[in-house]
Amino acid sequence: MADPSSTDPPPSVPARSAATIMLVRDGDGAPLPTLEVCMVQRHVDSDFVGGVYVFPGGKVDDDDRSTAAGRACEGRNDAEASTLLGLSSGGLAFWVAALRECFEEAGVLLARRTGRSPDGALLDMTDPAQRRRLGELRAALNAGEMSFLELLGAEGLRLAADRVHYFSHWITPEAAPKRYDTRFFVAALPPGQVPGHDEHETVDTVWVKPADALKRAAAGEFDLIFPTMKNLEAIGRFTTSDQLLRAAAAVERVPAILPRVVADQRGFRILLPGDEGYDEAVGAVDGSAARSMTSAEVGEAIRAVDAEGRSRRP
C-alpha cells in the first residue's frame, strides 16, 4: 500500500486510446445563424465522469482497428489518417471509433450508400420512415445484436471519414485513476438526422452555443470537465459551422495537450504546456507545503476546476 506521507508522484496508469466528436450545426440566431454543438449527458453511474455533459465519444475498440473497418471508410485511408494524427499507422481507427460512438450515443450516422452517392452526399434522413429504420439499427447495435461493421455491411453503407476533421488532442493527467489519450474531431450534422441520447450511457441531449455552455457551467447549471471547456472555448471562436470545419480541414499539425494537476490554497489547479510551473508540476503542489496528489484527488480535480483551470471551490 502506498505511503500517504510520501512526496513521490503517484504511479501513472496507461492512457487508453479514445475518440470524441463535436457535432455542429448553425442554429437560429439574430441577426444571423450561430454555431451550436451537440452535447450528451453521461449517466450518473458511468464509470468515467458520470453526470457531466460531453461530446459523443469513447474508447477505440479492436474492431475499429481491423482491416474490415478500414475498408468501410470512404474518403480517407489509414496512411493519411495516421499522418494527421502523428502516428506511424492505425490512425483511421480513431475516425471509425468517433463515427461509431456518434451513432451509438447520439444516433447520428455519417455515412453514404455504397455506389449511390456520386455527388458525395451523406445519408439524408428527412423521410420519417428512414429515420425509423436508422433508429431500429441503432437499437440493435446497442443491444449487441450486431456489430457496427456488420450493420454497415448489411445496409450497404460506407463511413464518411472525409467529413470528419481532426481538431484537438488531449491526454488525461498523469496519476488520474482513469486515463485516456483522446482525439477530438468535428463534423457537421447530416441532413434529416436528429441526435438523441441512448437512455443507457447517455441520458440527455442538448444543442448549445459554446459560449452559453461555458456560462451555464460557470453558474453551476451545466456540469463540464476541463478538456470539454477548453474545446468549447476553441470552437466558440468561430461564428458558423462552415468556418469551423474549413479551419479544421486546413490544420496540418495538432499538438498533444497533457495537463498537469497541482494542489494550491484553493484546492486544485490545472496547468497546460507553456504555463509557468508546468515543467516542475508532476503531481506536486506549488509553494511551501509540497506533497504528491493521490489518484482520487487528481480525478476530482479534472471535474472540480473552471475554464481557467482553477478550483471552483471558494
- Per-residue pLDDT tens over the stretch 191-216: 889 888 877 777 889 999 999 999 99
**Of 218, 240, 255, which closes a domain?**
255
Q: For position 186, which CATH number holds?
A: 3.90.79.10
Question: Do 213 and 268 lie in a common domain?
Answer: no
Question: Do 52 and 199 lie in a common domain?
Answer: yes
Q: Is a pLDDT exceeding 80 seen at residue 97?
A: yes
pLDDT confidence of residue 126 = 85
Question: Do 45 and 108 lie in a common domain?
Answer: yes
* pLDDT band (50, 70, 90) for residue 131: confident
In this structure, is residue 208 part of a structural domain? Answer: yes
Q: For 29-69, how does the pLDDT look when each residue is reduced to its tens digit (9 = 90+)?
A: 666 778 999 999 987 666 666 678 999 999 999 999 999 99
Q: Is a pLDDT exceeding 70 seen at residue 308?
A: yes
pLDDT confidence of residue 5 = 47
More confident position, 51 or 122: 122
The CA angle 270-274-277, to the nearest 5 degrees, is 60
Mean pLDDT of the chain: 85
More confident position, 66 or 268: 66
What is the DSSP code string of 184-201? EEEEEPPTT------SSS
State the DSSP code for 310.
Answer: B
pLDDT confidence of residue 269 = 79
**Torsions phi, psi of 192, nearest 5?**
80, -5
**Of 215, 234, 255, which closes a domain?**
255
Question: Which residues lie across from 270 on neighbouring strands?
Answer: 261
In this structure, is residue 97 part of a structural domain? Answer: yes
299 near 48, Cβ under 8 Å?
no
Question: Do 74 and 192 lie in a common domain?
Answer: yes
Tell whether the torsion through CA atoms of 196, 200, 204 and 209 is positive or negative: negative
Question: Do 291 and 185 lie in a common domain?
Answer: no
Number of H-type helices and E-type strands within the chain: 9, 13
Cell numbers standing for residue 43:
449517466
| Pick from 255, 112, 95, 125: nearest CA to 187 | 95
More confident position, 152 or 179: 152
Q: For 168-196, how does the pLDDT look when each residue is reduced to its tens digit (9 = 90+)?
A: 999 988 877 788 999 999 999 998 898 88
In this structure, is residue 7 part of a structural domain? Answer: no
Q: Is a pLDDT exceeding 80 seen at residue 19?
A: yes
In this structure, is residue 221 part of a structural domain? Answer: yes
Domains of the chain: total: 2
Q: For 217-228, how does the pLDDT look when each residue is reduced to its tens digit (9 = 90+)?
A: 998 888 898 899
Instruction: Calculate mean pLDDT across residues 238-261.
Output: 93
Pairing of β 202-208 and β 180-188: unpaired
pLDDT confidence of residue 290 = 36
- The residue whose grid cell reads 447495435 is 141
Question: Do 168 and 271 lie in a common domain?
Answer: no
Instruction: Calculate mean pLDDT across residues 148-161.
Output: 95
pLDDT confidence of residue 110 = 96
Q: How many residues does the chain have?
A: 314
| Pick from 63, 11, 13: nearest CA to 181 | 13
Question: Do 159 and 32 lie in a common domain?
Answer: yes
Instruction: Calculate mean pLDDT across residues 238-264.
Output: 91
In this structure, is residue 65 part of a structural domain? Answer: yes
Question: Do 182 and 297 lie in a common domain?
Answer: no
Question: Do 79 and 119 lie in a common domain?
Answer: yes
Q: For residue 280, what are the CA distances in angstroms to 4, 60, 75, 171, 188?
A: 21, 32, 43, 18, 40
Question: Do 146 and 294 lie in a common domain?
Answer: no
State the DSSP code for 122.
Answer: P
pLDDT confidence of residue 143 = 92
Domain containing residue 268: 260-303
* pLDDT band (50, 70, 90) for residue 6: very low
In this structure, is residue 236 part of a structural domain? Answer: yes
Question: Do 273 and 246 lie in a common domain?
Answer: no
In this structure, is residue 197 part of a structural domain? Answer: yes
Instruction: Out of 46-55, 152-161, 305-314, pick the least confident.
Output: 305-314
